[in-house]
Amino acid sequence: MKVLDIVIEENIKIAEDIYLLSFKNKYIAENYKPGNFVNIKIQDNSIYPLLRRPFSISYIQDDVVYIGYQVIGVGTELLAKKKKGYILNIIGPLGNNFEIPQNIKSVSLIGGGMGIWPLYGLARQLSQNKVMFDVYLGFRNKEKSFFIEKFKDIAENIYISSDDGSIGFKGNIIELFTSNKKNYEIIYSCGPKVMLRTLKDLNLNNQIYVSLEEKMACGIGACLGCSIKGENDNIFHVCSDGPVFNIMEVNLNESKS
Ligand SMILES: Cc1cc2nc3c(=O)[nH]c(=O)nc-3n(C[C@H](O)[C@H](O)[C@H](O)COP(=O)(O)OP(=O)(O)OC[C@H]3O[C@@H](n4cnc5c(N)ncnc54)[C@H](O)[C@@H]3O)c2cc1C
Ligand code: FES
């Protein structure tokens, strides 16, 4: 992990309120593993917003690092205005990663909204390792959908849902996953807490790994800002113990978001 000044290569709108930002950085490219994130200081010459903002590294190609984000509040609104050539200070790569066991055969990725970003980097890694996998992508609506074609290029099967039915199955992505009745040895998932909780409540026998999003400040395990409860009333720091956890380890009812 390093503190780095990076130069924005592109920061483009790819769907409603959704942007893809890229920058070239050899250190991040060489040290990245799917699931890692970066903590970005969004304003350079101002103390506001004070706290850095965490974003998953979506994928890396030829030393170019891609990060996708949705405009939510003050930080992401400011980020969306930054143009090619702007220098951002980032810390990364941070956090743990999705482990890919040897000889794994049936895999599914289940992503909801912004949780889809880190799964794309994982999908590329699986594809490189010649592991077949299915992808389930849940969006709010068609206008907020993204990366479908990119996943189609590397996934065995792709299943889409949207809350309003404007694209794919009408309903949430866990409903679509459940109705498919397909069994997988391992499931990797990232998305809103409610989606992950529903996945956990299915009580499946598969190995399930989830990447969690918690409000963060330092991003390096120093401030307790991102603490969540484990199933044994132990405490995890999402930034340094995660963001990827075995779903059985974490208490998704107790966490803050
Ligand atoms: C490990 C990790 C990976 C993430 N990856 C992505 C990603 O790839 N794409 C993406 O769009 N979003 C991602 N998020 C969520 C993203 O960090 C928030 O949407 C963003 O910080 C909101 O900032 P804001 O200033 O626009 O919102 P504000 O609401 O103004 O933020 C206020 C404060 O809350 C924190 N915050 C708000 N929402 C979240 C949230 N959901 N998670 C964590 N902190 C939050 C901010 O860091 C800030 O400190 C990730 C979060 C984590 C923890
Ligand atoms: S954000 Fe500070 S401990 Fe995790």
Q: What is the mean pLDDT of residues 225-242?
A: 94
pLDDT at 30: 98
pLDDT confidence of residue 255: 47
User: How far is Cα 118 from Cα 209, in angstroms, rounded to an integer?
Assistant: 13
DSSP conformation class of 250: B
Closest atom of ligand 2 to 54 CA is 1
Question: Which ligand 1 atom is nearest residue 71's CA?
Answer: 26
Vertex 187: Cα angle to 56 and 238 (nearest 5): 40
Percent of the chain with pLDDT over 90: 91
Measured from the CA of 217, which atom of ligand 2 is nearest? 1
pLDDT of residue 257: 47
Query: Is residue 17 predicted with pLDDT exceeding 50?
Result: yes
CA distances from 29 to 24, 93, 122, 129 (A): 8, 9, 14, 18
Q: pLDDT tier at 121 (50, 70, 90 boundaries)?
A: very high
Identify which ligand lies nearest to the alpha carbon of 245: 1
Ligand 1 pocket mutation, candidates 18, 189, 216, 255, criterion most atoms within 8 A of CB? 216
Instruction: Give the ligand at the shortest distance from the Cα of 94.
Output: 1
Would you say the CB of residue 226 lies under 6 angstroms from ligand 2? Answer: yes
* Residue 230 dihedral angles phi and psi, to the nearest 5°: -90, 175
Q: Starting from the edge strand earliest in sequence, which strands make up the sheet with 207-211, in order?
A: 169-170, 157-162, 133-139, 107-112, 186-190, 207-211, 244-246
Average pLDDT over residues 176-181: 95
Q: How confident is the model at residue 233, as a pLDDT?
A: 84
Q: Which band of pLDDT confidence, cut at 50, 70 and 90, is reported for residue 6? A: very high
Contact (Cβ atoms closer than 8 angstroms) between residue 35 and residue 190: no
Tell me if 66 CB under 6 Å of ligand 1. no
Reply yes or no on whether the pLDDT at 211 is more than 70. Answer: yes
Q: Where are the beta strands (DSSP E) in the chain?
A: 2-15, 18-24, 37-41, 53-56, 59-61, 64-70, 87-94, 107-112, 133-139, 157-162, 169-170, 186-190, 207-211, 227-229, 235-237, 244-246
CB atoms within 10 A of CB 62: 6
Q: What percent of the chain has pLDDT above 70? A: 98
In sequence order, what are the beta bridge partners of 5? Answer: 89
Q: What is the C-alpha separation between 135 and 107, in angstroms, rounded?
A: 9
DSSP letter, residue 239: H
Mean pLDDT for all residues in the chain: 95
Length of the chain: 257
User: Torsions phi, psi of 199, nearest 5?
Assistant: -60, -45
Segment 124-133 shows an average pLDDT of 96
Record the pTM: 0.96
DSSP letter for each residue of 168-236 = SEES-HHHHHHHHT---SEEEEES-HHHHHHHHHT--SSEEEEE-----SSSSSSS-TTEEEBTTS-EE
| Residue 168 Cβ < 6 Å to ligand 1 | no
| pLDDT for the residue numbered 224 | 85
* 61-109 confidence digits (pLDDT tens): 999 999 999 999 999 999 999 999 999 999 999 999 999 999 998 999 9
In DSSP terms, 244 is beta-bridged to 211
- Model confidence band, residue 54 (pLDDT cutoffs 50, 70, 90): very high
Q: Is the CB of 120 under 6 A from ligand 1?
A: no
Is residue 51 in contact with ligand 2, taking CB distance under 6 Å?
Answer: no
Q: Which atom of ligand 1 is nearest to the CA of 117?
A: 8
